[in-house]
């Protein structure tokens, strides 16, 4: 199967981290939360440093020197942590962008998250830049004059900002402005943008796993001790700093400006931003039709509302006069067409309405639950091996139809989280010896929670649960991407061997009658 | 082939990953160092604000013109707000270094003009010539500056201007 090189690179990186950290701590699955974690480090250390910092021309440099050398054991470490956590945030943000791009999670319904993330990158970079100004060393001088030149080149401001950095022209008001920007203005806008960035997803988690957070913190702490952040010489507006130890995570635009010009640097930055901003529509991606609510089969239980990963479902008072208090409503513009809600609905029970079309409370027009039941029946009927396995896959992970043969049949859903637990039980009842769910890699579901909800439903932690009478030895959940054919085949082979053993001791289970509902 | 479930081996791999993470920050937070100026270079900055002269001479309104105006606006003199552009030419050791024709900013082109130009120059002795014309009503340059200068390596030589003193080395 053809996998584009960028995605292949991402999957290889993801695999490497899975081997190193396991799927729970894999940093690639926690890039957003790690960035939040680094922001917390920056905030806490920044507050401490602010208590010691003197925001004046004469006091700024000396206070930072005091922080670095006199109180090195606390304030100095805080300064280093402040700086290195800022650098780490750039790494996680860029990796986050790479991951979303490589795995195609920036188009269609995800355009909002992608586009709203770009101003965050701009904000973080400018926040870092104003941080470097405050030190008021030679590097700060370089950054201040360079930033002023960049702003002067825009046809926005009257007067020359750069002339403020001539010898004898600077006043302490400069520090008040930069302190306001760095300590209040930019962070407030950043937190607003972060809120906006995650607004279209539900169950937002902003904390990485504790072990991963501890590991990252320890790495930054060790780095702070072995290479403490230090200043250049004090700023001197009568001479030009010659050699600078630039922080390339934040200050890479300045040498480019020296090499080209202010205008060309703006042009490049603007062009990159616009190209990135337009990526979700190049070409446009049409999402499948949104989920549809059928009130005749909805009792307002809210399970679909709880499970929707994208805040596309809301609950409101009943409008059809039925005896229930509530009903759900789907916002089509937010719906990702993942089908997770369909599996949440207790009415998506294939044992119901056995002789007629199966209807459910919330259904997917592209693959209705009735069609899914038919597909399951047909796939099971087509197999004739000693240990027949129904593979349930998704459109974004491994293509399960690649393994089709006389004892293996795959059915492909929009998301593995779309399979109702009762459908698995139904497949076993209809003659499958085993059902293997092959969704995306564990913790890396294209639709965020598909494989997680499958795990929780099957283990009885989340409704609708897989009923106790279903033989769990005949059900296997395994995550795999397009490039994981070998490991999936290997797991399938192991599973089949286990099924062969089970078949030897197979005991008939009484049939379940039509109309029986799921234990929810 | 190692067993990925092996905890010890996993910790070793994690240590390698954290080391790469630290190494990236270690290196890119300060390296490679950037040389902004060569050892024998300095910087010359020309920076000042100046408003050009009024572009057109004032005109005394005739009685007929005055009568056309509302009574509260019958000022005898009609003076244009628009100011002349500034033309500046800078030569270093006889070679053109910088020249600009700067128009007055503002809706009525009546604002002061800010000139800011910074350029790397070789350190050492030079001859600096600056000419500036700030009026379209007069022929030739209104301000001229000619001086031998000495610039040390990495020095920022700042050239300013005010109407009373003309161009000055600050």
Residue pLDDT, tens place only, A283-330: 888 889 999 999 999 999 999 999 999 999 999 999 999 999 999 999
Shared domain check, A303 and A224: no
Shared domain check, B153 and B119: yes
Which segments of chain B have a pLDDT < 50?
Answer: 1-2, 4
- Residues, chain B: 170
Whole-Å CA distances, A129 to A125, A139, A246, A387, A455: 6, 11, 11, 63, 45
CA A376 – CA A427 distance, rounded (Å)? 6
CATH number for the domain that contains residue A44? 1.20.810.10
Residue A48 burial (C-beta neighbours within 10 Å; 0-12, 13-18, 19+)? middle
Shared domain check, A197 and A120: yes
Shared domain check, B45 and B94: yes
Residue A256 CB: number of other CB atoms within 10 A? Answer: 14
Whole-Å CA distances, A509 to A216, A425, A429: 51, 12, 9
Q: What pLDDT shows up at residue B1? A: 40
A209 CA to chain B: closest CA distance, Å?
Answer: 15
Nearest to A248 among B28, B36, B42 (CB): B28
- Residue B68 domain flag: no
- Residue A417 domain flag: yes
Choose, out of A85, A230, A239, the residue to mutate when testing the contact with B (most B CBs < 10 Å): A239
Shared domain check, A318 and A263: no
Choose, out of B10, B28, B47, the residue to mutate when testing the contact with A (most A CBs < 10 Å): B28
A351, A349, A375: which is closest to A363 by C-alpha? A349
- Residue B14 domain flag: yes
Neighboring chain B residues of A158 at a CB cutoff of 8 Å: 105, 111, 114
CA A180 – CA A87 distance, rounded (Å)? 22
Angle, helix A186-197 to helix A31-52, in steps of 10 degrees: 160
CA A50 and chain centroid, separation:
32
Among all residues of chain A, which has the CA nearest to that of B39? A242
Summarize chain B as % helix, strand, coil (round to 5): 20, 45, 40
What is the total count of domains within chain B?
Answer: 2
CA A261 – CA B34 distance, rounded (Å)? 17
Cβ–Cβ contact B111 with A under 8 A = yes
B79 CA to chain A: closest CA distance, Å?
Answer: 24
Which segments of chain A have a pLDDT < 50?
Answer: 511-520
Shared domain check, A155 and A82: yes
CA A309 – CA A204 distance, rounded (Å)? 9
Shared domain check, B122 and B48: yes
What is the total count of domains within chain A?
Answer: 2
Q: Are B18 and A215 inside 8 Å of each other by CB?
A: yes
Summarize chain A as % helix, strand, coil (round to 5): 55, 10, 40
Task: Say which DSSP state A76 is in.
Answer: I
Beta strands B41-50 and B86-92: pairing type? unpaired
- Residue A306 domain flag: yes
- Residue B78 domain flag: no
Nearest to A159 among B4, B45, B114 (CB): B114
Q: What pLDDT shows up at residue A385? A: 93
E strand or H helix that includes residue A412? strand A408-413
Contact B42, A240 (CB under 8 A): yes
- Residue A466 domain flag: yes
- Residue A517 domain flag: no
User: Any bridge partners for residue A398, and if so which?
Assistant: none
Q: What pLDDT shows up at residue A175? A: 87
Q: Are B22 and A258 inside 8 Å of each other by CB?
A: no
**Which domain range does residue A38 map to?**
5-233+250-278
B66 CA to chain A: closest CA distance, Å?
Answer: 36
- Residue B77 domain flag: no
The C-alpha angle with vertex A356 and arms to A354 and A360, in degrees rounded to 5, equals: 80
Q: What pLDDT shows up at residue A2? A: 57
Shared domain check, B163 and B94: yes
CA A72 – CA A79 distance, rounded (Å)? 9
Write out residues 2-41 of B within 8 Å (CB-CB) of A: 4, 10, 13-14, 16-18, 21-22, 24-26, 28-31, 33-37, 39
CB pairs under 8 A between A and B: 118
A39, A83, A45, A80: which is closest to A247 by C-alpha? A83
CA B128 – CA A35 distance, rounded (Å)? 53
Q: What pLDDT shows up at residue A386? A: 94
- Residue B107 domain flag: yes
- Residue B24 domain flag: yes
Shared domain check, B146 and B87: yes
Residues whose CB is less than 8 angstroms from the CB of residue A237 and which lie 6 or more positions away in sequence, other chains included: A141, A165, A166, A167, A168, A169, A170, B156
Neighboring chain B residues of A253 at a CB cutoff of 8 Å: none
**Which domain range does residue B15 map to?**
1-34
């Amino acid at each position: 199967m053809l996998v584009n090189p960028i995605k292949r690179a991402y999957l290889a990186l993801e695999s490497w981290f899975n081997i190193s950290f396991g799927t729970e701590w894999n940093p690639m699955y926690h890039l957003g939360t790690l960035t939040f974690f680094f922001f917390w480090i920056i905030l806490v250390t920044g507050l401490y440093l602010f208590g010691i910092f003197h925001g004046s021309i004469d006091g700024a440099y000396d206070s930072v020197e005091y922080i670095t050398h006199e109180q090195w054991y606390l304030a100095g470490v805080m300064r280093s942590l402040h700086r290195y956590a800022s650098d780490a945030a750039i790494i996680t943000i860029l990796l986050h962008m790479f991951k979303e791009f490589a795995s195609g999670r920036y188009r269609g319904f995800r355009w909002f998250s992608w586009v709203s993330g770009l101003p965050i990158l701009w904000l973080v970079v400018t926040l870092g830049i104003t941080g470097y100004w405050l030190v008021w060393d030679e590097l700060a001088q370089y950054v201040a004059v360079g930033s002023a030149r960049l702003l002067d080149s825009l046809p926005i401001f009257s007067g020359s900002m750069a002339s403020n950095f001539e010898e004898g022209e600077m006043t302490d008001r400069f520090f008040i402005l930069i302190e306001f920007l760095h300590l209040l203005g930019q962070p407030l806008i950043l937190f607003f943008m972060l809120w906006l960035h995650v607004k279209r997803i539900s169950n937002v988690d902003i904390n990485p796993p504790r072990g991963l957070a501890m590991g990252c913190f320890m790495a930054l702490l060790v780095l702070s001790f072995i290479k403490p952040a230090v200043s250049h010489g004090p700023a001197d507006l009568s001479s030009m700093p010659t050699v600078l130890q630039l922080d390339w995570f934040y200050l890479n635009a300045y040498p480019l400006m020296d090499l080209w010009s202010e205008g060309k640097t703006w042009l490049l930055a603007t062009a990159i931003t616009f190209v990135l901003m337009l990526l979700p529509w190049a070409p446009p991606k049409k999402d499948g039709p949104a989920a549809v609510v059928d009130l005749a089969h909805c009792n307002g239980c809210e399970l679909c509302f709880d499970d929707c990963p994208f805040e596309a479902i809301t609950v409101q008072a009943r409008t059809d006069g039925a005896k229930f208090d509530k009903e759900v409503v789907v916002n089509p513009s937010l719906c990702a067409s993942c089908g997770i809600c369909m599996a949440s609905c207790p009415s998506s029970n294939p044992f119901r309405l056995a002789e007629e079309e199966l209807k459910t409370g919330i259904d997917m027009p592209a693959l209705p639950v009735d069609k899914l039941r038919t597909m399951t029946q047909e796939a099971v009927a087509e197999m004739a091996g000693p240990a027949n396995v129904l593979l349930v896959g998704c459109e974004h992970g491994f293509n399960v139809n690649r393994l089709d043969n006389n004892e293996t049949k795959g059915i492909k859903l929009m998301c593995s989280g779309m399979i109702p637990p009762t459908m698995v039980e139904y497949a076993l009842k209809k003659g499958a010896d085993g059902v293997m769910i092959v969704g995306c890699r564990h913790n890396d579901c294209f639709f965020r929670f598909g494989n997680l909800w499958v795990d929780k439903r099957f283990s009885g932690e989340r409704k609708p649960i897989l009923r106790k009478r279903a033989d769990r030895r005949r059900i296997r959940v395994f995550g795999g991407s397009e490039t994981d054919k070998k490991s999936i085949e290997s797991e399938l082979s192991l599973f089949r061997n286990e099924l062969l053993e089970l078949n030897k001791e197979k005991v008939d289970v009484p049939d379940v009658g039509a109309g029986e509902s799921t234990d929810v | 082939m190692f067993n990925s479930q092996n905890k010890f081996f996993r910790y070793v791999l994690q240590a390698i990953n954290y080391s790469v993470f630290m190494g990236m920050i270690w290196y890119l937070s300060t390296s490679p160092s950037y040389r902004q100026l060569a050892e024998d270079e300095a910087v010359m900055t020309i920076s000042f604000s100046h408003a050009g002269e009024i572009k057109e001479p004032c005109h005394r309104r005739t009685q007929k013109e005055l009568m056309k105006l509302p009574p509260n606006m019958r000022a005898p003199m009609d003076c244009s707000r628009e100011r002349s552009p500034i033309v500046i030419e800078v030569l270093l050791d006889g070679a053109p270094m910088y020249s600009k024709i700067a128009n007055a900013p503002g809706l009525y082109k009546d604002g002061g003009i800010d000139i800011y130009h910074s350029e790397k120059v070789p350190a050492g002795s030079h001859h600096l010539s600056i000419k500036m014309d700030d009026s379209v009503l007069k022929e030739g340059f209104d301000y001229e500056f000619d001086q031998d200068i000495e610039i040390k390596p990495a020095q920022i030589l700042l050239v300013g201007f005010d109407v009373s003193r003309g161009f000055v080395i600050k």
